Structure 1
Amino acid sequence: MLSAQDKNRGLETGYAEDHVDRLRAQWARELPGVDTEPMAILGRAKRLANLVGPSIEDTFAKFGLDRGEFDVIATLRRSGPPYQLTPTEMYTTLMLSSGGLTHRLVRLEKAGLIAREKSTRDGRSVVVCLTPTGATLAEKAFRVDMENELVFLQGLDAEERATLADLLRKLVVSLEEPRES
């Protein structure tokens, strides 16, 4: 349910009504006893992801990648020299199934962006290595992506961006903490 504070917040701050405000107002009319406050945050987070997602996908497409493929080469690149990880390290970091990762690795290997080699620590296992071509592509795509994503944040000044980042971090940390039964 929209509180009087929520209803007036846009007027007091000068912010225009957004899509989420309209959804919350509809729910307040239809189910007045339901608290829709979570939509004010989580609904907007989803809306943001939906609004910026296509542009991010377009950025990676210009480099011949989809977002998942970029995630793989970016994970290897930011791991530092020698830019290699085991498949288990990768799918844990990327929050993928091993099958989902394998499919991406096959495509990236065919493109010459990664190589799979026997581990020097354990000859029975494999490591995924970023090729020099893959490292260069990851860096170029990341730089362009960050430039493009910064454009989306221009509606906030530097202090507002820092505050929002801090609040989102606090929320994420609280959700990542193990919950007691």
Structure 2
Amino acid sequence: MTQESDEVDRIVRAWTGQRPDLDFSPLEVLSRVGRLARHLDRARREAFRRSDLEPWEWDVLSALRRAGEPYQLSPKQLLQQTLVSSGTMTNRIDRLVGRRLVRREDDPADRRSILVTLTDDGRIRVDAAITRLVDAEAHLLARLSRSDRDRLAGLLRKLSMGFDA
């Protein structure tokens, strides 16, 4: 049984011919990861576009949606989940309030603080986007069996643990 060949195989064969002294196995893995990341980025942007959301809006709205009812978080909690600066988060919240996708509310536990709450329209958009995103990502992985997906997820988790620490 012959294994299928892809563009990365062609590139690695060419490099191996030119530089047989180097081990190109990292290129075989990470070049494919990079190519897949570009396909994933396009699929995500399309899913968000179809839900009339920008990727940064998705980041904030999905954090609120994942929080569960009443779909609210403090700006500090949003900062921790989206990894942006305080000024950037304030700007993002302002813009989302302007689009009526979130609203600011006084924090009943601390009158000096606010909570950011997902509106009904924000929830509808983020739910539509996650449905489209999951469908698009399933399509990208369609050539893999469930056990292959599980094995790949485990290997990628193992690899990423060293970077996330």
Q: TM-score range by the shorter chain?
A: 0.7 to 0.9
* 2:57 corresponding residue in structure 1: 69
Distance (Å, rounded) in 1 between the aligned partners of 2:147 and 2:42: 27
For 1:9, the equivalent position in structure 2 comes to none
Give the structure 2 partner of residue 154 of structure 1.
Answer: 142
Q: State the SS of the aligned residue for 2:111.
A: coil
Aligned-partner Cα distance in 2 for 1:60–1:75? 15
Q: How many residues align?
A: 165
Give the structure 2 partner of residue 145 of structure 1.
133
Shift of 1:159: 1.2
TM-score normalised by the chain length of structure 2: 0.87
Structure 1 match to 2:10: 22
Contact 2:16/2:22, CA 8 A, preserved across alignment: yes
C-alpha distance 27-86 of structure 1, shift in aligned 2 (>3 A): farther
Taking a change above 3 Å as real, the CA distance of residues 26 and 127 of structure 1, as seen in their structure-2 partners, is farther
Which segments of 5 or more consecutive residues in structure 2 lack a partner in the other structure?
none
Say if 1:18 and 1:128 are closer, same or farther in 2 by CA, change over 3 A. Answer: same
Residues 106, 113 of structure 2: 8 Å contact kept:
yes
For 1:115, which of 100, 103, 117 is the aligned residue?
103
- Contact 2:64–2:118 under 8 Å retained in 1: yes
Between the aligned partners of 1:92 and 1:31, the Cα distance in structure 2 is 45
Amino acid at match of 1:84: Q
Q: Find the aligned partners of 2:113 and 2:18 in 1 and give their Cα distance.
A: 57
* Structure 1 position 100, deviation (Å): 3.1
Equivalents in 1 of 2:87, 2:22: separation in Å? 41
What secondary structure sits across from 1:125 in the alignment? strand
Structure with more relative contact order (C-alpha pairs < 8 Å, separation 6 or more) = 2
Identity of aligned residues (%): 34
